[in-house]
């Protein structure tokens, strides 16, 4: 058992949060993480309200435990169209990527729903706190998907020191050692994405999971070629080609539409996933992923390993003190 204050706030057993990865973190994975005592988050990105309702009901059919919904604050019209569904269908937290969802924070709070924001800079976290958010994710540049420029080892403690609300750590955290390190840096838990893509329940193409298992620490790269915003992905021919065409990349979300038209965003479909062009977001921790277990086993294994690490470090501290 590893319990921190954020566990009480979110009514969960373990401080392990599933990153709300668009198109990957769907009902089966979300429910599995929540059932194991962590906190599952649906990755709805820019999904329409009817799809969000369908997925939320699918989660609730699998578990009675708390879960959240993640969307992109950079697409405010989509968020506004979906927020009533999210509140009606029983999410306990709304998570925003790519910005602070200021227009809907008060509405969430009136419904008893917390708001959390993924942040890549100290200023982002402070802005989220000032807007009334309940927690933030400090995401280092090591993370997969849309990410910033500051390394997690530097970012997490600085955000912890800068805000009063709870902080989760994110970026290349794939095991219990990462959870133990996050706690040592002052975070109250972890926000894990890439590791959960390589799980049985993840809505990801078989090719995607196989690429993660085979990846080394040097196989990811940050590119704007898929969405117009910096995104860490598994390197492939598409990424290599666009490295020389940077001046042609359009702003978000036009570049994302361009990539979709080119068939480069089909990372959930075995029939269309193409190793040469498909966008496969992944963090630098991919090199430490060697299998595709059940998500519940992942949660329990991460917690057990973190407890063992913390006990060992406690023993080392005791020995140092005695000497």
For 93-122, what is each residue's pLDDT tens digit?
Answer: 999 999 999 999 999 999 999 999 999 999
* CA dist list (Å): 258 to 236, 261, 275: 17, 5, 18
> pLDDT for 9-67, tens place per residue?
999 999 999 999 999 999 999 999 999 999 999 999 989 999 999 999 999 999 999 99
Residue 317 has a pLDDT of 66
Confidence of residue 1 (pLDDT cuts 50, 70, 90): confident
State the residue for tokens 């200023």: 123
> pLDDT for 251-263, tens place per residue?
999 999 999 999 9
Q: How many residues comprise the chain?
A: 323
Contacts of the segment 100-108: beta carbons below 8 A, 24+ positions apart? 100/73, 100/124, 100/127, 100/128, 100/131, 100/133, 101/71, 101/73, 101/76, 102/131, 103/76, 103/79, 104/79, 104/80, 105/131, 105/132, 105/133, 106/132, 107/83, 108/83
How far is 62 from 35, CA to CA, in rounded Å?
9
CA dihedral 56, 59, 65, 69 (to 10 degrees): -40
- Cα torsion 129, 133, 135, 139: sign: negative
The answer to whether 20 touches 44, Cβ cutoff 8 Å, is yes
Sketch the domain layout of the chain as residue ranges. 5-202+294-322, 206-286
- Rounded to the nearest 5 degrees, what angle is found at the Cα of 270, between the Cα atoms of 269 and 275? 100
How far is 161 from 180, CA to CA, in rounded Å?
18
Predicted TM-score (pTM) of this structure? 0.96
- Rounded to the nearest 5 degrees, what angle is found at the Cα of 146, between the Cα atoms of 120 and 44? 110
> pLDDT for 208-244, tens place per residue?
999 999 999 999 999 999 999 999 999 999 999 999 9
How far is 157 from 26, CA to CA, in rounded Å?
31
How far is 7 from 272, CA to CA, in rounded Å?
39
How far is 118 from 124, CA to CA, in rounded Å?
9
User: Residue 223 burial by CB count (10 A; 0-12/13-18/19+): exposed, middle or buried?
Assistant: buried
CATH of domain 5-202+294-322: 3.20.20.70
The answer to whether 140 touches 168, Cβ cutoff 8 Å, is no
């Amino acid at each position: 058992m590893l319990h921190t204050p954020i566990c009480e706030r979110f009514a969960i057993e373990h401080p392990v949060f599933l990153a709300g990865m668009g198109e990957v973190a769907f009902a089966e994975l979300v429910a599995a993480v929540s059932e194991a005592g962590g906190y599952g988050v649906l990755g709805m990105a820019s999904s329409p309200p009817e799809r969000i309702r369908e997925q939320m009901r699918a989660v609730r059919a699998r578990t009675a435990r708390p879960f959240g919904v993640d969307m992109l604050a950079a697409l405010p019209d989509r968020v506004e169209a979906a927020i009533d569904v999210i509140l009606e269908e029983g999410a306990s937290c709304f998570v925003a990527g790519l910005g602070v969802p200021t227009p809907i924070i008060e509405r969430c709070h009136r419904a008893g729903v917390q708001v959390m924001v993924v942040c890549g800079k100290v200023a982002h976290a402070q802005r989220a706190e000032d807007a009334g958010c309940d927690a933030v994710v400090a995401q280092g540049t090591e993370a997969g998907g849309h990410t910033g420029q500051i390394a997690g080892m530097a970012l997490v403690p600085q955000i912890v020191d800068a805000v009063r609300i709870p902080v989760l750590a994110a970026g290349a955290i794939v095991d219990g050692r990462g959870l133990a390190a996050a706690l040592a840096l002052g975070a109250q838990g972890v926000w894990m994405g890439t590791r959960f893509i390589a799980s049985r329940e993840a809505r990801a193409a078989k090719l995607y999971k196989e690429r993660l298992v085979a990846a080394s620490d040097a196989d990811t790269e940050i590119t704007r070629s898929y969405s117009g915003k910096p995104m860490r992905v598994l390197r492939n021919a598409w990424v290599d080609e666009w490295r020389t065409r940077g001046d042609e990349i359009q702003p978000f979300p036009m570049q994302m539409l361009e990539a979709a038209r080119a068939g480069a965003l089909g990372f959930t479909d075995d029939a269309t996933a193409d190793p040469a062009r498909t966008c496969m977001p992944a963090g630098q921790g991919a090199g430490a992923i060697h299998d595709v277990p059940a998500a519940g086993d992942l949660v329990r294994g991460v917690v057990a390993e973190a407890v063992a690490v913390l006990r060992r470090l406690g023993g080392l501290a005791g020995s140092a003190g005695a000497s």
